């Protein structure tokens, strides 16, 4: 039951990465508000997990060998192909495919040929797969009240048209986890989240020679395919881009700080590793890293792979390098870039994939 734990920080110097649309009670009707959490401690801007997962899906399209799943739209629902054998996206991001059984919906699909290129599905069957990738909301590490920005549309004759939107300056932190046990394993039992395959997909699995797993309740992709899909996912993370209001508030959303490690069980390793100082700036908690490494030393399956971009919290780089060196038993003088940290984890994956993906 091994899991990959991850933490990332996104630096937002003047950003509006995820908007909530019009805000109730605003002074005017054309204010675009950012997503934020109101608490007694203040206002915390955030980016939804759905938005981040969309950025990652888009980034993965540029990774060599990645197989995105086609999507199909009906009047009020949309779904992917729900074929995790053929598509890595369905494997890792999960799915629910439940085409409408209404007579008019069936007639519409047949008339438009909506599912002409889709993998067939058993009649009156709902397929569901929980996402192997779990992603938290990316929340500001400290309270940060958004700023109102005013602008006008004035490229026309007559009076200019005013508009208003919010943006913020902060650091967003997010946690993610990958269930390595379930990656590339597809169940066909009548249980919510575990009805991954119907008879059509079971037949496809058998034809492709997939190995039965868990007392014939599931099929399993070959180890090298499962390993490659994990590699592609992490490569996509290294190339991630996206966000709202980029024309006005361009923000590089690639991680400034990235922490990665593999362990037995689903307990996340880095939830208390980063906080905020009195100025709302990131404060790395090396004592928390050392503690979790000691507490879970019998459960750890990998080293701690931590990357930090040069020029970002450089005053904490030395103490972080010392802590990581002590945890891993290595003599290190610095902390690598997040992309280098990903590559180091992937190099360890090549040696330990059978253990990690068991």
Model confidence over 301-356: pLDDT tens digits? 999 999 999 999 999 999 999 999 999 998 877 899 999 999 999 999 999 999 99
Integer Cα distance of 357 and 64 in angstroms: 22
Residue 29, pLDDT > 90, answer no
Please give the structure tokens belonging to residue 286: 């090396």
Q: What pLDDT does residue 153 have?
A: 65
Model confidence over 141-197: pLDDT tens digits? 999 999 998 776 667 776 766 678 899 999 999 999 999 999 999 999 999 889 999
- Measured from the Cβ of residue 352, the count of other Cβ atoms closer than 10 Å reads 13
pLDDT band at 112 (very low <50, low <70, confident <90, very high): low
Task: Give the residue from 174, 10, 176 showing the smallest Cα distance to 93.
Answer: 176
Integer Cα distance of 325 and 303 in angstroms: 10
Model confidence over 64-92: pLDDT tens digits? 999 999 988 777 788 899 999 999 999 99
Rounded to an integer, the average pLDDT of 225-232 is 98
Q: What pLDDT does residue 109 have?
A: 63
Identify whether the C-beta of residue 22 lies closer than 8 Å to the C-beta of residue 287. no
Identify whether the C-beta of residue 260 lies closer than 8 Å to the C-beta of residue 305. yes
Q: What pLDDT does residue 266 have?
A: 86
The alpha carbon torsion through 51, 233, 87, 195 (nearest 10 deg) reads -70
Strand partners, 11: 171
Q: What pLDDT does residue 333 have?
A: 78
pLDDT band at 111 (very low <50, low <70, confident <90, very high): low
Q: What is the pTM of this model?
A: 0.92
Q: What pLDDT does residue 173 have?
A: 98
Model confidence over 251-284: pLDDT tens digits? 999 999 999 999 998 899 999 999 999 999 999 9
Given CA atoms 291, 292, 295, 299 in this order, what sign does their dihedral have?
negative
Q: What pLDDT does residue 265 have?
A: 87
What are the CA-CA distances from residue 84 to residues 68, 70, 261, 266, 312 (Å)? Answer: 10, 12, 25, 23, 39
**% pLDDT > 90, the chain:** 77
Residue 102, pLDDT > 80, answer no
Alpha-carbon radius of gyration of the chain: 23
Model confidence over 36-74: pLDDT tens digits? 999 999 999 999 999 999 999 999 999 999 999 998 877
Integer Cα distance of 291 and 269 in angstroms: 10
């Amino acid at each position: 039951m091994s899991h990959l734990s991850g933490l990332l920080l996104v630096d937002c110097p003047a950003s509006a990465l995820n908007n909530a649309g019009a805000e109730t009670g605003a002074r005017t009707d054309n204010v675009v508000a950012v997503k934020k959490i109101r608490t007694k401690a203040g206002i915390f801007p955030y980016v939804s997990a759905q938005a981040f997962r969309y950025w990652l899906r888009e980034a993965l399209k540029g990774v060599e060998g990645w197989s995105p799943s086609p999507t199909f739209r009906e009047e009020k629902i949309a779904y992917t192909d729900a074929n995790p054998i053929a598509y890595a996206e369905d494997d890792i991001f999960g799915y629910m495919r439940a085409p409408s059984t209404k007579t008019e919906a069936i007639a519409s699909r047949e008339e438009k040929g909506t599912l002409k290129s889709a993998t067939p599905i058993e009649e009156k069957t709902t397929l569901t797969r929980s996402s192997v990738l779990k992603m938290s909301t990316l929340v500001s590490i400290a309270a940060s009240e958004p700023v109102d920005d005013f602008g006008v549309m004035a490229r026309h004759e007559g009076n200019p048209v005013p508009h208003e939107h919010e943006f913020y300056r902060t650091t967003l932190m997010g946690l993610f986890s990958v269930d390595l046990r379930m990656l590339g394993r597809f169940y066909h039992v009548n249980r919510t989240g575990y009805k991954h395959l119907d008879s059509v997909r079971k037949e496809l699995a058998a034809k492709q020679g997939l190995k039965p797993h868990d007392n014939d309740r599931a099929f399993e992709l070959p180890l090298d395919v499962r390993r490659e899909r994990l590699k592609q996912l992490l490569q996509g993370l290294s190339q991630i881009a996206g966000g709202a209001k980029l024309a006005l508030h361009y923000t590089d959303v690639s991680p400034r700080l990235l922490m990665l490690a593999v362990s037995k069980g689903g307990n996340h390793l880095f939830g208390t590793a980063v906080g905020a100082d009195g100025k709302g700036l990131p404060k790395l908690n090396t004592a928390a890293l050392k503690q979790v490494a000691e507490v879970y030393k019998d459960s750890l399956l990998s080293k701690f792979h931590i990357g930090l971009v040069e020029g970002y919290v450089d005053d904490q780089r030395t103490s972080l390098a010392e802590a990581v060196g002590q945890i891993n038993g290595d003599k290190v003088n610095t902390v690598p870039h997040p992309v280098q940290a990903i590559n180091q984890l992937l190099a360890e994956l090549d040696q330990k994939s059978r253990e990690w993906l068991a």
